[in-house]
Amino acid sequence: MNAIDPQLMAERIESLKAGIIGGLSVCFAFALSILLNTFVLAKYFQILACLQNDLDWHLWESGAIATFTGFLFGVTYRYIIRSDQNPQLKAGGVLAFGLVRGLTQIELGWNSRSTIWPFLVLAFESILWFGLGALAQPAVGIALNVAIQLRWVKPFSSI
Protein backbone atom coordinates (compact mmCIF):
# COMPACT_ATOMS: atom_id res chain seq x y z
CA MET A 1 0.00 0.00 0.00
CA ASN A 2 1.38 3.40 -0.99
CA ALA A 3 1.68 6.13 1.58
CA ILE A 4 -0.11 9.34 0.66
CA ASP A 5 2.22 12.31 0.38
CA PRO A 6 1.02 14.89 2.95
CA GLN A 7 2.14 17.78 0.70
CA LEU A 8 0.15 16.39 -2.24
CA MET A 9 -2.93 15.89 -0.06
CA ALA A 10 -2.63 19.46 1.29
CA GLU A 11 -2.47 20.77 -2.31
CA ARG A 12 -5.58 18.77 -3.22
CA ILE A 13 -7.48 20.17 -0.24
CA GLU A 14 -6.48 23.73 -1.21
CA SER A 15 -7.64 23.07 -4.78
CA LEU A 16 -10.96 21.71 -3.48
CA LYS A 17 -11.44 24.84 -1.37
CA ALA A 18 -10.60 27.05 -4.37
CA GLY A 19 -13.10 25.09 -6.47
CA ILE A 20 -15.85 25.49 -3.89
CA ILE A 21 -15.25 29.23 -3.65
CA GLY A 22 -15.20 29.51 -7.46
CA GLY A 23 -18.40 27.49 -7.76
CA LEU A 24 -20.22 29.54 -5.12
CA SER A 25 -19.12 32.86 -6.62
CA VAL A 26 -20.22 31.89 -10.15
CA CYS A 27 -23.50 30.53 -8.74
CA PHE A 28 -24.06 33.88 -7.02
CA ALA A 29 -23.24 35.76 -10.24
CA PHE A 30 -25.61 33.45 -12.14
CA ALA A 31 -28.43 34.23 -9.70
CA LEU A 32 -27.80 37.98 -10.00
CA SER A 33 -27.78 37.81 -13.79
CA ILE A 34 -31.06 35.85 -13.82
CA LEU A 35 -32.66 38.54 -11.67
CA LEU A 36 -31.24 41.31 -13.86
CA ASN A 37 -32.36 39.57 -17.04
CA THR A 38 -35.87 38.80 -15.80
CA PHE A 39 -36.73 42.00 -13.97
CA VAL A 40 -34.81 44.63 -15.95
CA LEU A 41 -33.55 43.65 -19.39
CA ALA A 42 -36.49 41.46 -20.48
CA LYS A 43 -38.99 43.89 -19.00
CA TYR A 44 -37.69 47.13 -20.48
CA PHE A 45 -36.07 45.99 -23.74
CA GLN A 46 -38.43 44.11 -26.05
CA ILE A 47 -35.55 42.71 -28.12
CA LEU A 48 -34.27 40.97 -24.95
CA ALA A 49 -37.65 39.55 -23.86
CA CYS A 50 -36.42 35.99 -24.38
CA LEU A 51 -34.01 36.49 -21.44
CA GLN A 52 -36.93 36.28 -18.99
CA ASN A 53 -36.68 33.11 -16.92
CA ASP A 54 -39.28 31.05 -15.13
CA LEU A 55 -38.45 28.93 -12.13
CA ASP A 56 -38.32 25.58 -13.91
CA TRP A 57 -35.97 22.62 -14.35
CA HIS A 58 -34.15 24.31 -17.19
CA LEU A 59 -33.17 27.17 -14.87
CA TRP A 60 -31.98 24.74 -12.17
CA GLU A 61 -30.01 22.82 -14.78
CA SER A 62 -28.38 26.03 -16.04
CA GLY A 63 -27.53 27.01 -12.47
CA ALA A 64 -25.93 23.63 -11.79
CA ILE A 65 -23.85 23.89 -14.96
CA ALA A 66 -22.77 27.44 -14.06
CA THR A 67 -21.82 26.29 -10.55
CA PHE A 68 -19.83 23.33 -11.87
CA THR A 69 -17.97 25.49 -14.40
CA GLY A 70 -17.26 27.91 -11.53
CA PHE A 71 -15.84 24.99 -9.53
CA LEU A 72 -13.57 24.05 -12.44
CA PHE A 73 -12.59 27.69 -12.85
CA GLY A 74 -11.66 27.98 -9.16
CA VAL A 75 -9.40 24.92 -9.27
CA THR A 76 -7.79 25.99 -12.53
CA TYR A 77 -7.42 29.63 -11.53
CA ARG A 78 -5.49 28.63 -8.42
CA TYR A 79 -2.93 26.89 -10.60
CA ILE A 80 -2.89 29.69 -13.19
CA ILE A 81 -2.04 32.46 -10.76
CA ARG A 82 0.31 30.48 -8.52
CA SER A 83 2.02 33.05 -6.27
CA ASP A 84 2.85 35.36 -9.18
CA GLN A 85 1.77 38.98 -9.34
CA ASN A 86 1.12 38.93 -13.08
CA PRO A 87 -2.13 40.76 -13.96
CA GLN A 88 -2.06 39.52 -17.58
CA LEU A 89 -1.95 35.92 -16.39
CA LYS A 90 -4.88 36.51 -14.03
CA ALA A 91 -6.95 38.35 -16.65
CA GLY A 92 -6.09 35.67 -19.22
CA GLY A 93 -7.46 32.93 -16.98
CA VAL A 94 -10.73 34.83 -16.52
CA LEU A 95 -11.03 35.60 -20.23
CA ALA A 96 -10.22 32.02 -21.23
CA PHE A 97 -13.16 30.65 -19.24
CA GLY A 98 -15.51 33.55 -19.98
CA LEU A 99 -14.81 33.67 -23.70
CA VAL A 100 -15.11 29.92 -24.22
CA ARG A 101 -18.58 29.99 -22.67
CA GLY A 102 -19.56 33.35 -24.16
CA LEU A 103 -18.40 32.69 -27.72
CA THR A 104 -20.32 29.43 -27.70
CA GLN A 105 -23.45 31.40 -26.85
CA ILE A 106 -22.79 33.86 -29.67
CA GLU A 107 -22.34 30.96 -32.10
CA LEU A 108 -25.66 29.56 -30.91
CA GLY A 109 -27.25 32.95 -31.57
CA TRP A 110 -25.87 33.09 -35.10
CA ASN A 111 -27.29 29.65 -35.80
CA SER A 112 -30.72 30.45 -34.42
CA ARG A 113 -33.48 32.28 -36.23
CA SER A 114 -33.81 34.94 -33.55
CA THR A 115 -31.88 38.15 -33.01
CA ILE A 116 -28.26 37.96 -31.81
CA TRP A 117 -28.68 40.58 -29.01
CA PRO A 118 -29.79 38.21 -26.22
CA PHE A 119 -26.83 35.96 -26.99
CA LEU A 120 -24.42 38.91 -26.82
CA VAL A 121 -25.83 39.78 -23.39
CA LEU A 122 -25.32 36.18 -22.24
CA ALA A 123 -21.75 36.18 -23.60
CA PHE A 124 -20.95 39.37 -21.71
CA GLU A 125 -22.46 37.87 -18.55
CA SER A 126 -20.22 34.81 -18.89
CA ILE A 127 -17.11 36.96 -18.76
CA LEU A 128 -18.50 38.82 -15.73
CA TRP A 129 -19.29 35.54 -13.93
CA PHE A 130 -15.70 34.38 -14.08
CA GLY A 131 -14.44 37.86 -13.34
CA LEU A 132 -16.45 37.79 -10.14
CA GLY A 133 -14.72 34.53 -9.29
CA ALA A 134 -11.22 35.98 -9.49
CA LEU A 135 -10.29 39.46 -8.01
CA ALA A 136 -6.72 40.51 -8.43
CA GLN A 137 -7.59 43.84 -9.84
CA PRO A 138 -10.96 45.53 -9.50
CA ALA A 139 -11.68 44.95 -13.19
CA VAL A 140 -10.83 41.26 -13.07
CA GLY A 141 -12.85 39.77 -10.22
CA ILE A 142 -13.52 39.15 -6.53
CA ALA A 143 -14.01 35.92 -4.61
CA LEU A 144 -10.99 33.67 -5.16
CA ASN A 145 -8.33 36.34 -4.66
CA VAL A 146 -10.09 37.58 -1.54
CA ALA A 147 -10.02 33.99 -0.22
CA ILE A 148 -6.31 33.76 -1.04
CA GLN A 149 -5.59 37.14 0.59
CA LEU A 150 -7.52 36.06 3.70
CA ARG A 151 -5.49 32.82 3.65
CA TRP A 152 -8.61 30.64 3.34
CA VAL A 153 -6.96 29.15 0.27
CA LYS A 154 -3.23 28.93 -0.29
CA PRO A 155 -1.94 29.82 -3.76
CA PHE A 156 -0.16 27.17 -5.76
CA SER A 157 3.54 27.99 -5.39
CA SER A 158 5.61 28.65 -8.50
CA ILE A 159 8.16 26.00 -9.36
| Mean pLDDT (whole number) for 51-63 | 81
Q: Residue 136: what pLDDT?
A: 34
pLDDT band at 1 (very low <50, low <70, confident <90, very high): low
Q: Residue 130: what pLDDT?
A: 80
Q: Residue 9: what pLDDT?
A: 87
| Mean pLDDT (whole number) for 52-72 | 86
Side-chain half-sphere of 71: how many Cα atoms within 13 Å?
8
Q: What is the pLDDT of residues 18-33, one digit of tens each?
A: 888 888 888 988 898 8
